[in-house]
Chains A and B, each alone.
Chain A
């Protein structure tokens, strides 16, 4: 409790504070937020310039929008691939089910970095996919896949797929199958029964899974820097560049706070829902 208070809450307040300061050449490289004027009056020096800078500079706005787009598209594909998988696992025989679940979780335990790295070998111009396609004669020129949006989507979907499958599975597994039978008895086709019964019931799982993918994907740093475009940065990359290369801590902090503001609504929805799930138990 104390640990979290110390190492989680306080840092946020600090970042929030620093985002209002100005960069200067000193250690640490930002201006003090408050100062004792004549040793009596505490003067707050709040600079809003960082936020003004963020709001006017096209680089930041475009990378925020780009991050949101990448996260949204990846979440969509994750759902499209993850839903049938979770459904299949939930409907499998109990013995196969635990094996399949383990297969889903296993990649999650292996290094995330190395799994993204594995895609470089597959997607490169002289990578495995292009080599196979060329030797089969399907294509004659290698398809450029590295450093495209496509590669980033693949990387994110690949890395976060377990986060989509597990909440969906937890939800789908609890469904009462007699409901589907009832729907069938009443004359509903399987597809219609799925749309009218299973899908609405699994909505909490869909929301939980989608948020678990969407939120970290917005701030994703490793995947776009390994697989992504160099002409269009995602916001995580912008933040770390500001911080490590420009050493502009205030702007980096402002970027972080702005990113949090973007994510506040999804995070709150997620926590509400977790709370409700807990209450159900």
Chain B
């Protein structure tokens, strides 16, 4: 029986990871394939970088990518600020009026089907335009607002869990030493929750960079984000330049995640060292 278990769990792990990674790997491999038929390996002319060159010459994809990059960056910056504030309010201010409401509202976008969020955002934009004339038309502004609404919920959750195991005596010590509240916040609180803020920023960035459904509702005719371009291309069938694009995106993300993991680990180690210096 014990032997069974010893084999069962690793097998499932291996199977699960294969399930997670085989599709990505096959996509990467076929991005170097010369044939137009994506899944037929043309061994005479492969590997080739043909699709990568075609990709960079595709003006539609490139401009969509620039637009997405801009929206994702803006979205990540706004969501981090708002999400951090909401997280602080939820953890620190105790039982204030509307706490339950705020808590429920930050958790709701996490589980709400995207399509409902998208539809309701659009209804709001249309109604607002009729009432106060802003936002005029739909485009970058409306996409960003829609993205911030759901990404800040993720940031709030991350900040909340970080603050939950936060040693408040550090802040108290700083205040005993005569630091003003805003100094305490910037010198003590902010650096300590920095890893959470960074991962929140990265998460909001990718969420926005990825989103199709909500963008589709919030976008105007002139603003097409990269995922929207990909989605409409993919619906028509498989195309090799999407493989190339996917490979590039996977590589960038993998580098980013690995780098940030190292950064978080390094800063955590530094903190542990400093803590040891303080109370050996």
Contacts and interface: CB of A to CB of B under 8 A. Distances in A.
Contact of B20 (A107, A191, A249): A107
Interface size for chain A: under 10, 10 to 19, 20 to 34, or 35 or more residues?
A: 35 or more
Given A4-B102, A109-B257, A88 B9 contact: yes
Interface in B1-39: 1-2, 5, 8-10, 12-13, 15-17, 19-24, 26-27, 30, 37-39
A12 B124 CA distance: 9
A161 B16 contact: yes
A55 interface: no
A252 interface: yes
Contacts of A66: none
A221 B82 CA distance: 28
A211 B111 contact: yes
A73 interface: no
Contact of B24 (A84, A118, A191, A274): A118
A104 B130 contact: no
Given A114-B245, A124-B238, 7 more contacts: A102-B257, A110-B250, A110-B254, A122-B26, A212-B111, A243-B119, A256-B116
A267 B10 CA distance: 33
B109 interface: yes
Interface in A246-281: 249, 252-253, 256, 259-260, 263, 267, 270-271, 274-275, 278, 281
Interface residues of B, number: 87
Closest 9 A-B residue pairs measured CB to CB?
Answer: A219-B113, A11-B120, A84-B12, A118-B23, A11-B124, A114-B246, A88-B13, A88-B9, A85-B16
A87 B9 CA distance: 7
Contacts of A14: 120, 123-124, 127
Contacts, number: 224
A207 to B, nearest CB: 13
A117 B212 contact: no
Nearest to B29: A128
B132 interface: no
Chain A CB count within 10 A is highest, among B119, B126, B210, B253, for B119
Interface in A10-40: 10-12, 14-15, 18, 28
Given A106-B254, A121-B38, A191-B1, A239 B119 contact: yes
Interface of B: 1-2, 5, 8-10, 12-13, 15-17, 19-24, 26-27, 30, 37-40, 82, 85-86, 89, 98, 102-109, 111-117, 119-121, 123-124, 126-127, 130, 145-146, 148-149, 152-153, 160, 164-165, 202, 206, 209-210, 212-213, 216-217, 227, 230-231, 234-235, 238, 242-243, 245-246, 249-250, 253-254, 256-258, 261
A259 B116 contact: yes
Contacts of A110: 24, 249-250, 253-254
A64 interface: no
Contacts of B1: 189-191
Contacts of A211: 111
A104 B209 CA distance: 20
